[in-house]
Amino acid sequence: LSSWVEGGDCCEWTGVVCHNSTGHVNQLHLAAPLSEPDGFATNAEWEAYYNSQLGGKINPSLLELKHLSSLDLRNNNFSSIHIPKFFGLLESLTYLNLSRARFQGAIPHNLGNLSKLQYLDLGVPKWIFSLHGLVSIDLSGNSLEGPIPDYFGNTSFLEVLDLSLNNLNSSIPNSLYSLNRLQFLSLGQNQLQGTISSAIGNLSSVTHLDLSESQLNGQIPLSIGELSSLKLFDVSNNQLNGQIPLSIGQLSSLEDFDVSENQLNGQIPLSIGELPSLKLFDVSENQLNDTFPLSLGRLESLEILDCGWIPPFQCERIELGHWHLGPKFPQWLKFQKNLSYLDISYAGISDVMPTWFLNLPTQFKHLNLSSNQLRGEISYLNVRNIVDLSSNRFIGPLPRVFPTLPFLLLSNNSFSGSLFELVCNSSSSKGMAVLYIDKNLISGDIPDCWNHWQGLDLLNLGSNNLTGKIPPSLWHLNLTMLNLRNNTMFGELPSTLRNSSDLIMLDLSENHFSGSVPAWIGDKLSNLEILSLRSNNFDGHISHKICDLQFLQNLDLAHNNISGVIPKCFNNLSAMATTNKTNNFVLGVYVYTASFCLNALLVLKGREDEYGSTLRLVTSMDLSANSLTGEIPKEIGSLVGLLSLNFSGNLLTGNIPDSIGNMEIMESLDLSMNRLNGQIPTSTQLQSFENLSYVGNHLCGPPLTKNCTSKGIPIDVANNGSSREGSKVNWLYVSIVLGFVMGFWGVVAPLFFIRSWRHAYYRKLDHICGKL
């Protein structure tokens, strides 16, 4: 190990524990630090797991650790060696764990010399039962074969016995039933034979009883009802027959009951309703009749119910959305021959999509499997009207669909590959009206094959790995909604976009689009309610034509390179100038007589959230992080319906107009990081925002702590102005004095130092005096 450096203090090494007072090494915790990855792990995770395991030979120098009481080597890879015989000489051991360490060969007999051993986890030799003080035996996950020794009478203190995941092939020994202190018993996943004895009722302390995946036969004994502390009972995947005993109603602590994959018959007992703690009840794949006892309705804690039910009816329509049907995919659906409408969304299903379901002979009109944890690949969907597989874990290429399918919703999965097969080589273009493939792993360019998708209304390809420019054929469609946000697309907005006159929502944010925001958006896209171009490379001015978008509720041009002034005509944005949202531009469209509510990601209060049914109630304007100049026009105050206004991070100057105080329903305002000055207008609304809304300016007044003068100037600015003015007066006097001194000495100094000048000066004075 990397921390085991020669010459250092071994008590500081990873996995080494020393006695506090003597300093002797008494514990070695050398289990593999990483647990085995699940079936969905990446190659890197598996490689890290294998690299974390110890292997090779074990040095006999361990015998020098005379005070070693605990040795843990579990979950490593010693597949090339046997269990070292010298382990039997570690006389101080009370804990030895070699489980899942892959040792080969026989277990050495001299381990029976470890008289102090209390915990042993390795394999099943007979000599173990001579260790009378054992309270725990864990031999799981080895390749042990043969019978289970019938010597449990010598281990009366045993509390844990785990022999699962082996190849043991005997019956359950009678002496095991005498362990009245046993709390955990797991014999599952072996090849056990014979019956379950009625003596099992003697295990009065057991809470966990697992006899699953073996070859047990006979009936479940009535004495099972005597296990009053039992929480888990699992005898699944055996050959048990008969009925489920009525006595299970006495197991008041029972949480998990699994008798699936047996040959049980009869009815589910009424006493099942007496189990208040029951969470899992699985009786699937038996020969039980189709009757459900009404007492099942009393099981308030029940989370998973699997009855392996073959329904006595044939449905055309099944709506079980928000029912907890999982975690397995409901098998009983395979018996529905007339099903055309299925909704099992939000059903807690975490399973691979079964092949039989995709191959059902029936043709669905409506299929909704959304918001589960379904996984796997889907090659073809035989559905005529609506497919909703959103919010699952599907992978692979996009599925082929029925030619006239109008609704296809695949959002929030892990579909990958190109759009080419679906868009260019599919006949689905004839009838598709709604196509949502956002939040996946789709890559490459958007193919230029949209000419035949004339019925498409809503297209959402956001949050993928798409690149390139917007293809020209896409603008031949008269879309209602286009969402390409959060990709890596580039180029200028083509003039053919003006053909999409029915657009309600246009979201091209978080890409690399450039050029100016076209003026014709205001002329040709007059139905726009949401326009989001944030986080691109747009430049130029904001055209006054934008003011013609009277239905616009959300305008987001933030994080671009836009310059110029904020148009005064923004007060013409009618949808932002009204507080009445009840009849205000409901963001919904009608496709094939079905109402479809649009969703949008909006940034409000600095946080990005998705809005659906409440989208029509939200109005916002975000021009932040640009290079806008000039003053905030007072006309902005007319937009009294705005909930959020963000002009931060620009070069705006002047005062905050008083009219902004009239925007009474506004919840978020950010004018920070500009060059604004003066006093913040006094109104309850503007004073209710935090200081952060105004920082980075030259503002004063509440909510800022900086006070203003009577003229509305920050006091520190006024003081600086006064000091500058005073400095000018002082310099005036200084210049007068300097002028006088320079003039005086400019005349006097030559007379004083130059004799000829001085004589000439005096002669001149004498001449003047003589004339007088």
The least confident of 38-42, 118-122, 445-449, 684-688 is 38-42
What local confidence, expressed as pLDDT, does residue 585 receive? 40
8 Å CB contact between 366 and 343:
yes
What local confidence, expressed as pLDDT, does residue 584 receive? 39
The percent of residues in the chain predicted with pLDDT above 70, rounded, is 86
Pick the CATH number of 1-122 from 3.30.450.20, 3.40.50.720, 3.80.10.10, 3.40.50.2000: 3.80.10.10
Higher pLDDT, 510 or 30: 510
- Banded model confidence at residue 290, pLDDT cuts 50, 70, 90: low
> Residue 497: which residues within 8 A CB-CB, separation 6 or more?
470, 475, 518, 521, 524, 525
The alpha helices in 359-473, defined as continuous H runs, are: 420-424
The least confident of 32-41, 94-103, 645-654 is 32-41
What local confidence, expressed as pLDDT, does residue 332 receive? 83
The least confident of 42-51, 55-64, 181-190, 713-722 is 713-722
- Banded model confidence at residue 15, pLDDT cuts 50, 70, 90: confident
- Banded model confidence at residue 564, pLDDT cuts 50, 70, 90: very high
- Banded model confidence at residue 310, pLDDT cuts 50, 70, 90: low
Over range 65-75, report the average pLDDT: 86
**Token digits for 401?**
């669909």
Q: Please state which CATH class domain 143-309 belongs to.
A: alpha beta
**Could you state, in order of their start, the residue ranges of all structural domains in the chain?**
1-122, 143-309, 311-477, 512-713, 716-771
Quick one: fold of 311-477?
Answer: 3.80.10
- Distance of alpha carbon 762 from alpha carbon 466, whole angstroms: 100
Higher pLDDT, 587 or 260: 260
**Token digits for 94?**
């009370």
- pLDDT at residue 731 is higher than 70: no
- Banded model confidence at residue 712, pLDDT cuts 50, 70, 90: low
What does the buried/exposed string (b/e) look like for 589-626 if buried means 16 or more CB atoms within 10 Å of the residue's CB? bebeeeebebbbbbbbeeeeeebeeebbebbbbbbbbb
Strand partners, 318: 342
The DSSP string of 583-611 is TS---EEEETTEEEE--EEEEETTEEEEE
Which range, 72-76, 219-223, 357-361, is most confident?
Answer: 219-223
Strand partners, 302: none
- Banded model confidence at residue 724, pLDDT cuts 50, 70, 90: very low
- Distance of alpha carbon 734 from alpha carbon 48, whole angstroms: 81
- Banded model confidence at residue 13, pLDDT cuts 50, 70, 90: confident
393 C-beta neighbours (distance < 10 Å), count: 16
8 Å CB contact between 204 and 225:
no
Nearest to 216 by CA among 264, 251, 184: 264
What local confidence, expressed as pLDDT, does residue 725 receive? 42
What long-range pairs does 57-63 form, CB within 8 A, spacing at least 24?
Answer: 57/81, 58/84, 60/84, 60/86, 62/86, 62/90, 63/89, 63/90
Angle 175-176-180 (CA atoms, 0-180°, nearest 5)? 105
- Banded model confidence at residue 368, pLDDT cuts 50, 70, 90: very high
What local confidence, expressed as pLDDT, does residue 142 receive? 65
3-state SS assignment for residue 444 = strand
3-state SS assignment for residue 658 = helix
User: What's the CA dihedral at 363, 364, 370, 373 to 10 degrees?
Assistant: -30
What local confidence, expressed as pLDDT, does residue 573 receive? 93
Question: Does 512-713 match 143-309 at the fold level?
Answer: yes
User: How far is C-alpha 423 from the geometric centre of its chain's CA atoms?
Assistant: 30
Over range 513-532, report the average pLDDT: 92
What long-range pairs does 699-707 form, CB within 8 A, spacing at least 24?
Answer: 699/656, 704/680
What local confidence, expressed as pLDDT, does residue 730 receive? 55
The DSSP string of 92-138 is T-SEEE-TTS--BSPPPGGGGG-TT--EEES---GGGGG-TT--EEE
- pLDDT at residue 581 is higher than 70: no
Over range 179-199, report the average pLDDT: 91
What local confidence, expressed as pLDDT, does residue 569 receive? 93
pLDDT (tens digit, 9 = 90+) per residue, 83-109?
888 888 888 888 888 877 777 666 777
User: What's the CA dihedral at 408, 410, 415, 420 to 10 degrees?
Assistant: 30
Over range 481-501, report the average pLDDT: 91
289 CB burial (10 A radius; 0-12, 13-18, 19+): exposed
What local confidence, expressed as pLDDT, does residue 594 receive? 47
214 CB burial (10 A radius; 0-12, 13-18, 19+): buried
What does the buried/exposed string (b/e) look like for 337-376 if buried means 16 or more CB atoms within 10 Å of the residue's CB? eebbbbbbbbbbbeeebbeeeeebeeebebbbbbbbebbe
What local confidence, expressed as pLDDT, does residue 391 receive? 94
Quick one: fold of 512-713?
Answer: 3.80.10
The percent of residues in the chain predicted with pLDDT above 90, rounded, is 39
What local confidence, expressed as pLDDT, does residue 99 receive? 73
- Banded model confidence at residue 111, pLDDT cuts 50, 70, 90: confident
> Residue 189: which residues within 8 A CB-CB, separation 6 or more?
164, 165, 166, 212, 213, 214
8 Å CB contact between 513 and 537:
yes
Cis peptide before 472 (omega within 30 of 0): no
Over range 742-746, report the average pLDDT: 68
- Banded model confidence at residue 485, pLDDT cuts 50, 70, 90: very high
Higher pLDDT, 422 or 146: 422
379 CB burial (10 A radius; 0-12, 13-18, 19+): exposed
The least confident of 62-76, 596-610, 756-770 is 756-770
Reported pTM: 0.63
Q: Give the sign of the dihedral formed by CA 313, CA 318, CA 319, CA 320.
A: positive
Average model confidence (pLDDT) for the chain? 84
8 Å CB contact between 162 and 138:
yes
- Distance of alpha carbon 259 from alpha carbon 54, whole angstroms: 39
What local confidence, expressed as pLDDT, does residue 216 receive? 94
- Banded model confidence at residue 412, pLDDT cuts 50, 70, 90: very high
- Banded model confidence at residue 75, pLDDT cuts 50, 70, 90: confident
What local confidence, expressed as pLDDT, does residue 596 receive? 62
Higher pLDDT, 607 or 312: 607
What local confidence, expressed as pLDDT, does residue 610 receive? 83
What's the 3-state SS for 508-547? CCCCEEEEECCCHHHHHCCCCCEEECCCCEEEECCCHHHH
What local confidence, expressed as pLDDT, does residue 496 receive? 85
- Distance of alpha carbon 623 from alpha carbon 420, whole angstroms: 36
Over range 645-660, report the average pLDDT: 94
Over range 425-447, report the average pLDDT: 86
- pLDDT at residue 526 is higher than 50: yes
What local confidence, expressed as pLDDT, does residue 288 receive? 81
Over range 443-455, report the average pLDDT: 90
What local confidence, expressed as pLDDT, does residue 759 receive? 65
Over range 32-48, report the average pLDDT: 73
- Distance of alpha carbon 721 from alpha carbon 719, whole angstroms: 5
